């Protein structure tokens, strides 16, 4: 039987034939796709004609389509539906894929042809997108080691291969630690303070584990956060919190401390080989920030505004803890609990009052309505189409004239085989072959509260904004209109990629938007104005905590990747010293402790976790353009689509933003948005 991963997909819209793909298909598909890609590269190198844009740069960008197809399916499924066999395949393929990539980027013959085109005067006559592709391709090869000596190339290859395995193992360890911990409660006294919805979800989770009559809480956010917010059992909050912040830091088989040492050491070696003082210098060169000094300057500017707010919040929570329970000292596992109590006291608002209006289906409807109003999109759910997971849902996105833009999958609920968090990815990216547009196949992945026999999936407001956020990433890919795959969609600098996603979050706070979709799941009643007003006036509540919690993680990332010399690191001690230097408050724990900081040790955000706040400067400023002209002003929306969403990386992102906004970005909108300076709208 022909391997379905290596065939042209004949499914509707060319989505992967998930129903035909078996685990046994992956290894042979990977190896055949690598062989085909190697042959394509060899043909470029052996071409007797002088190197030009078409036979070298464009040919390189079009190469490797089979490998892209196999890898996209495998790695997306690895993140959402993993098992021992999938992990075995990933561990076997990681060094092979690393060697294959190095065989390309360290290929002297190929690089000479690329360099010939880059140096050619003919580049001046190319179209802007073509010129951008030449420059980006050349830079990728230089940063990949193409200018190194043969000996250094060999060293770099060994480093890359080892890093590919270490980062993979880091993520596997975090997933194992997250799944391993279970807080099983057996008596009603242990449930004191928990709302009925939280108890129901915990009982349902216990039944799934064969624990009838008990209640199960885990380290997955939909289980962890409500328990921390509402449980009156302080000792149990401490136990759950301790398990959460000590993942992969328990000196067991899934401990990540030594892996961090090895990863940082290898990244320093890699940077030195490539001529950079630190990994941060290497990583940031092509980002909007350009260098670590610019990143640090932004982080410290926001930190200086956030610390006074966080200190004021700490004082308020200590006063409440003393008044309510006689507590003399506030601990990190108390923060969620007392902040929820204070929010209720101050604004008569808590998550449980809002959940009934945020049924998952209506929140999806709301995000889609915003996109439809802004960009006149048509979005419809598809049936009878292969799904990556049985619970996933699939949507077609079209322009007003019914021209097909792309496919969007959504996968909503936690499971043991799925990484925690939320993200967007592609099963296929957008590009053009001749005049034919290849449309994207996008996936949004979440970990929302599961429905129970008693209630549908009801989201808290943070989860509402998460759905809008990931859908914003999806729109960035779905509305891409580029020629070359390596420049399309979300293939942009790391500190620009969060702009479309964080921009979408703003809409979820707007009264006009909330009235469009927030309806009571039982009565159908539109969310009342008094609750909308509570959301509006409480928007800045706890933002000192949220900002400090995030910034501390970004500064920790920068500290690790600003190390210039190889040394033995004790991650908990390094982390503690970094927190001491920045003046971290003892009542707050950094958002990601080192040993489960997947973004920087297993994902693509190494020396880049700052990018969320950098992009938030852009998104807050961009959203103010809509406040100035109208939330659904067609001209402003068209400009945002034409200058930001459709352009990918075909131009310097700073120029794209300036073309949309008419000026350089300003930081004041961000500080107002987070309540760190006065906001006249609140």
Whole-number Å distance between alpha carbons of 392 and 504: 22
C-alpha dihedral (154, 157, 163, 165), degrees to nearest 10 = -110
- Contact status, residue 178 vs residue 231, Cβ threshold 8 Å: no
**Cα 566 to Cα 63, 64, 105, 269, 574, distances in angstroms:** 37, 36, 26, 8, 14
Whole-number Å distance between alpha carbons of 178 and 517: 34
Query: Which residue, among 103, 91, 105, has the nearest Cα to 164 in the 3D structure?
Result: 91
Phi/psi-derived region of residue 542, left when phi > 0, alpha when psi is between -120 and 50, beta in every other case? left
Strand 215-217 vs strand 423-428: parallel, antiparallel, or unpaired?
unpaired
Q: What is the 3-state composition of the chain as percent helix, strand, coil, each rounded to the nearest 5? A: 60, 5, 30
- Contact status, residue 596 vs residue 247, Cβ threshold 8 Å: yes
Count CB atoms within 10 A of the CB of residue 70. Answer: 26
Residues contacting 600, CB < 8 A, separation 6+: 557, 560, 561, 592, 606, 607, 608, 609
Question: Is residue 470 annotated as part of the catalytic site, yes or no?
Answer: yes
- Contact status, residue 66 vs residue 30, Cβ threshold 8 Å: no
SS3 letters for 180-246? Answer: HCCEEECCHHHHCCCCHHHHHHHHHHHHHCCCCCCEEECCCHHHHHHHHHHCCCHHHHHHHHHHHHC
- Contact status, residue 541 vs residue 567, Cβ threshold 8 Å: no
**Active-site residue among 58, 177, 396, 470?**
470
Q: Which residues are annotated as catalytic?
A: 470
């Amino acid at each position: 039987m022909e391997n379905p991963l290596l065939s042209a997909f004949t499914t509707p819209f060319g989505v992967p034939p998930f129903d035909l793909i078996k685990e046994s298909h992956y290894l042979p598909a990977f190896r055949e796709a690598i062989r085909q890609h190697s042959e394509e590269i060899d043909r470029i190198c052996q071409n007797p004609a002088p190197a030009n844009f078409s036979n070298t740069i464009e040919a390189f960008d079009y190469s490797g389509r089979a490998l892209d197809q196999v890898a996209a399916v495998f790695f997306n499924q690895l993140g959402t539906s993993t098992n021992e066999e999938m992990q075995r395949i990933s561990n076997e393929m990681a060094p092979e894929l690393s060697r294959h990539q190095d065989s390309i980027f360290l290929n002297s013959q190929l690089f000479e042809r690329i360099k010939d085109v880059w140096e050619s005067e003919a580049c001046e006559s190319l179209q802007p997108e073509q010129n951008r592709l030449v420059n980006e391709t050349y830079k990728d090869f230089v940063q990949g080691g193409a200018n190194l000596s043969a000996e250094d190339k060999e060293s770099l290859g060994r480093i890359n291969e080892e890093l590919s395995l270490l980062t993979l193992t880091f993520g596997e360890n975090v997933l194992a630690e997250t799944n391993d911990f279970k807080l099983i409660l057996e008596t009603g006294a242990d449930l004191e303070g928990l709302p009925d919805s939280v108890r129901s979800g915990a009982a349902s989770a216990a039944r799934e584990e064969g624990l009838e009559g008990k209640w199960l809480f885990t380290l997955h956010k939909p289980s962890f956060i409500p328990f921390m917010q509402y449980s009156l059992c302080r000792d149990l909050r401490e136990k759950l919190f301790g398990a959460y912040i000590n993942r992969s830091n328990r000196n067991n088989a899934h401990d990540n401390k030594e892996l961090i040492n090895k990863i940082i050491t290898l990244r320093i070696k890699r940077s030195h080989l490539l001529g950079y003082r630190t990994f941060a210098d290497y990583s940031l060169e092509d980002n909007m920030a350009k260098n670590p000094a610019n990143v640090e300057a932004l982080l410290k500017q926001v930190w200086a505004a956030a610390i006074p707010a966080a200190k004021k919040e700490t004082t308020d929570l200590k006063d409440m803890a003393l008044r309510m329970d006689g507590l003399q000292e506030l601990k990190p596992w108390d923060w969620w609990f007392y902040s929820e109590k204070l929010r209720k006291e101050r604004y008569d608002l808590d998550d449980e009052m809002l959940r009934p209006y945020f049924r998952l289906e209506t929140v999806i409807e709301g995000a889609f309505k915003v996109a439809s109003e802004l960009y006149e999109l048509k979005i419809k759910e598809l049936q009878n189409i292969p799904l990556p997971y049985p619970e996933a849902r699939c949507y077609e996105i079209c322009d007003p004239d019914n021209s097909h833009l792309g496919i969007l999958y959504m996968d909503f609920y936690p499971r043991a085989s799925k990484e925690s968090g939320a993200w967007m990815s592609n099963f296929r990216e957008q590009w053009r072959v001749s005049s034919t547009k290849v449309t994207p196949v996008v996936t949004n992945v979440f970990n929302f509260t599961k429905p129970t026999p008693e209630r549908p999936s009801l989201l808290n407001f943070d989860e509402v904004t998460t759905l809008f956020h990931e859908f914003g990433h999806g729109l960035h890919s779905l509305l891409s209109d580029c020629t070359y795959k390596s420049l399309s969609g979300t293939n942009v600098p790391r500190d620009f990629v969060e702009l479309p996603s964080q921009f979408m979050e703003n809409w979820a706070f707007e009264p006009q938007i909330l009235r469009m979709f927030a309806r009571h799941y039982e009565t159908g009643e539109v969310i009342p104005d008094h609750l909308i007003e509570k959301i509006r006036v409480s928007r800045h509540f706890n933002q000192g905590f949220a900002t400090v919690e995030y910034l501390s993680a970004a500064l920790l990332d920068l500290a690790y990747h600003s190390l210039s010399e190889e040394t033995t690191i004790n991650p908990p001690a390094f982390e503690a010293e970094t927190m001491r230097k920045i003046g971290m408050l003892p009542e707050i724990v950094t958002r990601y402790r080192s040993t489960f900081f997947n973004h920087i040790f297993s994902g693509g955000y190494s020396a880049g976790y700052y990018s969320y706040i950098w992009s938030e400067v852009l998104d807050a400023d961009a959203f103010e353009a809509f406040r100035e002209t109208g939330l659904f002003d067609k001209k402003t929306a068209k400009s945002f689509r034409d200058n930001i969403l459709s352009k990918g990386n075909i131009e310097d992102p700073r120029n794209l933003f300036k073309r949309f906004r008419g000026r350089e970005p300003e930081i004041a909108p961000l500080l107002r948005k987070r309540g760190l300076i006065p906001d006249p709208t609140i």
